Structure 1
Amino acid sequence: MSIRLRLTLLYSGILACTLVVFSVVLYVLVGRFTLHWQEQALAEEAAQILTQGEFRLTVIRTPQGKVAIPQTFVQTRDLSGQIVSRSINLGSYELPLSDKGLAALTSGQANGWLEIVRTDNGRLLIYSRTVVANGQTVGILQVARSLADLDRTLTTLRQYLVVGTIVSTITAFFVGWVLAGASLRPINRITQTAREIGQARDFSRRVEYEGPNDEIGALVTTLNEMLTELQAAYQQVEHALVAQRRFVADASHELRTPLTTLRGNVELLQREPPLPPEEQRAILQDVTVEIDRMIRLVRELLTLARADAGLRPRWEPVQLGPLLEDAVRQAQLLRPRPIVRALGTRDAVVLADRDLLRQVLLILLDNALKYTPEDGTVEAQVVVENGCAGIVVRDTGVGIDPAILPHIFDRFFRGDAARRGDGTGLGLAIAKSLVEAMRGEIRVASKPGEGSTFTVLLPLETSVGDGERGDAHRLVAAHRTLP
């Protein structure tokens, strides 16, 4: 059963119950009020009959019709209950009086007695009261009226109420059906839109709603917020799948060359007759170089895979000066030439991952040393700018062609022939991924033949005071003036 039908039935049921209760109460009140009015009218008529003259026992025994009133039936009895006289309109019918009523009247327990009796012509309302003359009760006067008109009126009222209740309920059902459909129409549009979004997997689409901010408006708002979360999750999953496919493609592409070289060298070593010992040693040395290259490549690919999977840095305050000095010493051990001059301040503190930041510095320093001639220089410097702090690595090497500068951070990109070396083309891509994982920024500026400048900026540690930041700025400015 649909919500629309349930709501319509609920509306109709509530209205029907309300109309039934109202009809019953109205019917009972009208019946009781009309009957009470008839009782009062009979009592007044009885009093009027008694006040028409001085009633004595002989008056009560007058011939029939003596006390007749149109549309009213009159009858008198003596104290024993015997009928004394009747009005002409009674004909042969005698107004009854129950033994209980007779006893109550004759004993003085009640001045008047009401009874309703059923006849062939309908109900009859009878009012009986005692007649007192000279201080003594001399008889009983009975006045009656037919309730047929009242019963017909109540029957007609009952029919009108039943028909009105049925018609009102049916009308309310159709009106409720239309109103429920109009109220639920936005929900139908929401359902249709959600179905289309699910079929097309277009989570960028939103449910349009221009109505009031009621329950349906809150539902649309919640659904749009859920679509935003689904879009973010879907994009994250899609990005992870793309990164996975790219990782597999890059790994297969880069590992193909060393594996092919290794296979060729192994086939040479298996040749019969064997190669001379000098050639075998050269082949083994080549195998060692290729294996080292493969190990380095796999390590770098795993680092990129971690970054693509959502690397979570271990946040801690990192003082850039000591970290830069350690990175410079480690870089000089790997490539003794040329000279690295470390300039900076020990007071600049950033919020970062110490190990990841050291790896970024080693990549930048290694690149600078690799592409700088022996008579050139490499400078590493701590800088503070615009609420951020970082390290600048500047060299006087071969520089980068402006045409390829936008692609310098692409994976497996080795640039022009002047910058091709023994690298894998993943170093700068790894550096960029690690810096972005630490919510930082890396940029490069270069001129061919003059050198390159790489800048890494990270957010300053919030616990560093304003005085310490001012000292850091002054120390950086002082270092920038050094030759």
Structure 2
Amino acid sequence: MTIRLRITLWYMGLLILVLVILCSALYSYVRYTTGQDIKNTIDRTVQDIHITQSVDFWRSLQINLSPRIENKQVIIQVVDYITGQVRYTSNLADSGYNLAYPEPDSNLQAAYSKVDINGSPFKVLSVPITLKDNSLVGLLQVGVYTGKEEQILGNLRLILVLASVSVLLIAFLLGLYVSRQALKPLHRVTVASTRIEGGQDLGIRIPRGKAQDEIGTLTDTLNGMLSRLQQAYLDMNQSYDTQRRFVADASHELRTPLTTVRGNSDLLKKLWVKLSADRVEQHHIDLSLEAIQDISDESERMTRLITDLLALARGDAGQIVVKSPVELYPIVAEAARKAALLPRTAGWKNELDIFRTIVIEADRAYLQQLLLILIENAFKYTPSGEVRLSGVRRDHAVGIKVQDTGIGISEAELPHIFDRFYRADVSRGRTAGYGLGLSIAKWIIDEHHASVEVYSKENEGSTFIVWFPIADQSLTVRVEEDDRE
């Protein structure tokens, strides 16, 4: 059963209950007032009848009726319990019908009853006639024709039933229409969900009406959920594409050193097996040393790749970087010294005086690793020109600035440079690497609650500025005291 039909049926049930209560109350009121009118008519008729009751010497009941009753709608019957004589009005005599009356009883009370005289309904009041000593001598019965009232009540019942049925039918059709209109947004939700389930288009959004109601709120919530779902799906696809590209690159990069290691190992094995029986010459030794050097270099490449992957895995596992107050200048100076020893074709300059006396909350090893990643990355993509390390201070923050005049990064690729396994297309095949360095750098930046700004333009170079909050003065004093000790 659909929600639309259930809502309509619930609405109909409540309406039926209300109609039953209202119709019952109306019918009961009309019936009660009609009955009271009939009783009042009977009571007035009884009051208009003057009965003089007495018993003569022969024990005969003398009853005098005045005035004379000529109303055809009223019947009167008087019973004499002493002589058994029954007197009645002419209209009752003409009908040939005698009203039934009870046997004489001292406990007889006035009572109403309903009788049918030749198909005509009457309501009869029976009143006992007593003497002054309360002895029962007769019975007065007055009846009023109630056919018109019964017809009115019957017509009222018919009108109420027909009107109720008509109202219910109209209400049912109207309820279906109203519920259909009210549930249209839910239908749109169902259609959109079905299309999304079929994988047709995650960009579908549910049209929202102007009404600020629960369905509007539901539509906003579902549209927000769909937006997040679409973004998650796009991110997942992008991540899969990046990882597939990385797997291809890593497979190639790992296969190359492994092939070199295996080839040189086989060469050494064959060479020294042959030389075991012959004289060892100098070119044999040179060839062996060259093979060993190749094995060492390729092993170092694989070690760096595995080290980078391990660093990212630790970050994913939720490893927390333990920070403490450290002077920034010695760390930057040490990174600059090591950077000067890195292989490069570009010039190298640094300006570090701004970092003196500055203290930040950091981990020494991770901070130095961050600087070396940025500097090495600048060397890698700067075949000619210059790489510069400097600093900038702003309010309560200090920025470490690594600037180069290399190949730069396109505007389209700039938002993705910190993604794992990402390598700009312009660098693929030109520079060695796996696209992990900047991802590790971003993780270190985030763990230090720092921020990074990147400015780049193709064929003009790139600038990375990492901002660290400066520690308060008390930490600076504490560090200086520790250094003196």
Per the alignment, residue 91 of structure 2 pairs with 89
Per the alignment, residue 477 of structure 1 pairs with none
Q: CA deviation at 1:127?
A: 1.9
**Structure 2 residue 438 is matched with structure 1 residue 440:** no
Cα shift readout 1:364-383 (whole Å, capped 9, x = no counterpart): 455788999xxx99875443
Per the alignment, residue 77 of structure 1 pairs with 79
Per the alignment, residue 467 of structure 2 pairs with 458
Distance 1:352 1:22 in 2: 80
Contact 2:305 2:434 in 1 (8 A): no
Mean Cα deviation higher: 285-294 or 297-306: 297-306
Give the AA of the match of 2:72: P
The alignment covers a number of residue pairs equal to 447
Per the alignment, residue 181 of structure 1 pairs with 180
Cα distance change of structure 1 residues 99 and 404 upon mapping to structure 2, 3 Å threshold: closer
Per the alignment, residue 286 of structure 1 pairs with 294
Contact 1:73 1:144 in 2 (8 A): yes
- Find the residue that maps to 2:125 and give its secondary structure: strand
Cα distance change of structure 1 residues 95 and 457 upon mapping to structure 2, 3 Å threshold: same
Q: State how 1:48-447 maps to structure 2 within 5 Å.
A: 48-50=48-50, 67-80=69-82, 82-91=84-93, 92-99=96-103, 103-104=106-107, 112-118=110-116, 121-129=119-127, 139-200=138-199, 202-271=201-270, 274=274, 276-300=284-308, 302-303=310-311, 314=321, 316=323, 319=326, 320-328=328-336, 342-349=352-359, 355-365=365-375, 380-385=389-394, 388-393=397-402, 400=406, 411=423, 424=433, 429-430=438-439, 433-434=442-443, 437=446, 440-443=451-454
Distance 2:409 2:42 in 1: 119
Q: CA RMSD in A?
A: 4.8
Cα shift readout 1:180-211 (whole Å, capped 9, x = no counterpart): 11111111012112222333464444322123
Distance 1:126 1:430 in 2: 106
Cα shift readout 1:256-308 (whole Å, capped 9, x = no counterpart): 3323333432343354783734322322222222222222233335556777x
Distance 1:248 1:169 in 2: 70
- Find the residue that maps to 1:400 and give its secondary structure: coil
Cα distance change of structure 1 residues 342 and 96 upon mapping to structure 2, 3 Å threshold: same
Q: CA deviation at 1:122?
A: 4.8
Q: State how 1:37-56 maps to structure 2 within 5 Å.
A: 37-50=37-50
Mean Cα deviation higher: 325-334 or 286-295: 325-334
Distance 1:428 1:143 in 2: 115
Give the AA of the match of 1:95: L
Q: CA deviation at 1:221?
A: 1.8
Give the AA of the match of 1:116: K
Q: CA deviation at 1:254?
A: 2.1
Give the AA of the match of 1:297: L
TM-score by length of 2: 0.73
Contact 2:77 2:89 in 1 (8 A): yes
Distance 1:209 1:441 in 2: 39
Task: Could you tell me which runs of 5 or more consecutive residues in structure 1 were left unpaired when the two chains were aligned.
Answer: 469-483
Contact 1:349 1:460 in 2 (8 A): no
Q: CA deviation at 1:354?
A: 5.1
Give the AA of the match of 2:398: A
Cα distance change of structure 1 residues 129 and 343 upon mapping to structure 2, 3 Å threshold: same
Contact 1:77 1:141 in 2 (8 A): yes
Per the alignment, residue 479 of structure 1 pairs with none
Give the AA of the match of 1:287: I
Identity of aligned residues (%): 29
Distance 1:118 1:440 in 2: 103
Give the AA of the match of 2:38: Q
- Find the residue that maps to 1:211 and give its secondary structure: coil
Cα distance change of structure 1 residues 202 and 306 upon mapping to structure 2, 3 Å threshold: farther
Per the alignment, residue 7 of structure 1 pairs with 7
Contact 2:423 2:435 in 1 (8 A): yes
